[in-house]
A and B are shown apart, each in its own frame.
Chain A
Amino acid sequence: MGLSNNLTQLAAVMANQEKFQVSEKAQAFLASVQKGKYKREIITGLGKFLDNNVPEEMQGFYSKSELQSLVDLRGTTQDVESRMPVKITRHYFELAKTSAAIQTLVKASPKETYDLEGAPDPGNQMDYSPVEGLIHKYELGLIYVASTCSAHCRFCYREELIAKKDVARPDGTIAPKGLAQIPDIVNYILKHNKEVAANGGRHPETGREKLREILMSGGDPMVLGNNNIAEWWSALADAGIESIRLGTKELAFYPDRFDETFFDMVDKFHEAYPSTQIRLMVHFNHPDEFLVKDAEGNYIDDPDGGLEWVPSTKRSIKELGKREWISIDNQAPIIKGINGDPDALRIMQRELRRNRVENHYFFCGRDIIGHKAFNLPIEEVWRILNESQKGLSGVESHARLSITHYRGKTEVAAVTNEPLAGIPGTENGFVVLKLLRGAADAPDRGKVSIVGRNPEAIWFSGYDDRVIFDEAGLFTHVGEKQNFTPLLQQA
């Protein structure tokens, strides 16, 4: 980005900051927020393990040969740490000690960079970014408020943000994705909603409706202090946002983040803004992330029903669940070596629902750089989820399987073993894909595409040569829209 560009941006930001006023109500609320004290005991980087500069118990988390194979890749295009920095909390390490699934989730592996095919900006988000840090792709707006998490999932689909990689923008400039700033976002919401209102409920250019919901993402917004979260919440509520979503994996990485000071802030926010909903989007991949195991590695029956939870996670979930204006939904990808296990997923869905967590989405892995190391075939993921939901009650099995297409969020609705009589291409069965939410406005919601089966397919491109029916238009852009040239990979 050129200097003049920087200066223009700076001037715009400064003008916004001058215009943005914290309301009196927000000021009173913010003055009441307490700061928490956290002890995440984060270990960042392989270097710490290499130098044995970690607590004694954590030494050996990576074996000597594992470390060596990773060190050998340093400085090459296969460097795993420049693809995705290594990071773990003490709490997550404790869980990982007895869980192969969690180890796969959080430990770096040379397999990640064997094949670096993938999109530098999965979902082409920069095409939908009117303001730095804001993605306005669906009816809701997504904002990046933090560029890190307490620990890092190796399969993270926002690796470009976490690893601060350069990303190409529609205007041709190349820069790392920046974080959202409150004045910019508030001004955008106010302007957008004003234009929508003046045009009879639809935006004159994009056809979108009023922005009612903002999703705070990153990174993990729960790494921010209570005061920063409170500033965002009050500013968004003052801008007319009715529901604030917050995507977090902190219940798995560091459940003690949900401490008294947090709930004090949450309750004071509710007093000040009683009609604003908080929708917590949590991220559990595997029941090992919240259930206690016995010496044999089995989950333990809770005398009060269900299974025994990790106490700090249970306490945090219970506290969240007490507040009826907070909803809690789980969504997670199904990833090779982590949770491609119907039994684990069945237990997880049952236990989450028992504790007031709705099972919202499961996802097929996205086409991130290095996705071949993480993604299970789409049809296999469908089978795993379908198997996991056998034996669950209706309310326990609300989760749908979604795969994010450039056109929007798509459900993998059905995979058949039987051909459709008389329809060529369905000899080995077929797959039904249904568009759940279209990007921009939503005229294509509910439209369907049908493709012949390909048990190897890990992305839409695996079906390019066997499209039978494409009402949803999922296969019109393949090859054209996706940028598979890994030109922005870091050396």
Chain B
Amino acid sequence: MTFVVGENCIQCKDTACVEVCPVDCFYEGPNFLVINPDECIDCEDCVPVCPENAIYSEDDLPVEQKVFLKLNAELAEIWPNITEKKDPLPEAAKWSGVKDKLKYLER
């Protein structure tokens, strides 16, 4: 199993998760973070710290977000590792809770 970053992260990228991850398994793109499923150890520590409630256990991933499972695995192979917290994106507040953000995902 793994935890998966879902669409609430897009355009927000708070990075609180990065700081608590004991295995440094987050990878960073321009406006989204992903979890490397091979490195995630299922500790769940990142779930409560995400202000956007963007992180799900693979089993609890909403049906309409199933695509994020594959997306996390795929992008974790390409994007650089992120291990230190930084500021959220400048317009994070504006994008918080906005639906259907997948179309804004930048690679």
How many A residues face the partner with a CB closer than 8 A? Answer: 25
Q: Is residue B43 within 8 Å, beta carbon to beta carbon, of the partner chain? A: yes
Contact B59 A48 (CB under 8 A): yes
Count chain B CB atoms within 10 A of each CB in A39, A44, A147 and give the residue with the most. Answer: A44
Of the four ranges (under 10, 10 to 19, 20 to 34, 35 or more), the interface on chain B belongs to 10 to 19
Within residues 21 to 71 of chain B, which ones have a CB less than 8 A from any CB in chain A? 22-24, 38-39, 41-45, 57, 59
Q: How far is the CA of A299 from the CA of B76 in the complex (A)?
A: 42
B28 → chain A closest CB, angstroms = 16
Within 8 A of A (CB), among B57-105: 57, 59, 81, 83
Interface string of A28-55 (1 = CB under 8 A from B): 0000000101111011110110000000
CB contact under 8 A between A42 and B22, given known A147-B45, A148-B43: no
Contact check: which of A37, A38, A146 meets B22 at CB < 8 Å?
A146
Name the one of A37, A42, A164 contacting B1, with C-beta atoms under 8 angstroms: A42
Q: Which of chain A's residues have a CB closer than 8 A to the CB of B24?
A: 35, 225, 227-228
How would residues 128 to 155 of chain A score, 1 for a CB under 8 Å from any chain B CB and 0 otherwise? Answer: 0000000000000000011110100000
Q: Which partner residue on chain B sits nearest A45 by CB separation?
A: B59
Distance to closest chain A CB from B82 (angstroms): 13
Given A44-B1, A45-B59, A48-B59, A145:B41 Cβ within 8 A: no
Instruction: Given the known inter-chain contacts A45-B59, A227-B24, please indicate yes or no for A150 contacting B44, CB distance below 8 A.
Output: no
Contacts of A453 in B (CB 8 A): none
Contact A45–B1 (Cβ < 8 Å): yes
Q: Nearest CB to that of B1 among chain A residues?
A: A44
- The chain B residues found within 8 Å of chain A, CB to CB, are 1, 22-24, 38-39, 41-45, 57, 59, 81, 83
- Give me the interface of A with B, judged by CB distance under 8 Å: 35, 37-40, 42-45, 47-48, 87, 145-148, 150, 164, 179, 219, 223-225, 227-228
For the complex with contacts A44-B1, A146-B43, 20 further pairs of A-B residues with Cβ separation under 8 Å are A35-B24, A35-B81, A42-B1, A44-B42, A45-B1, A45-B59, A87-B42, A147-B43, A148-B43, A179-B22, A179-B45, A223-B22, A223-B41, A223-B43, A224-B22, A224-B23, A225-B22, A225-B23, A225-B39, A228-B22
6 A-B pairs closest in CB distance: A44-B1, A148-B43, A223-B41, A44-B42, A225-B23, A224-B22
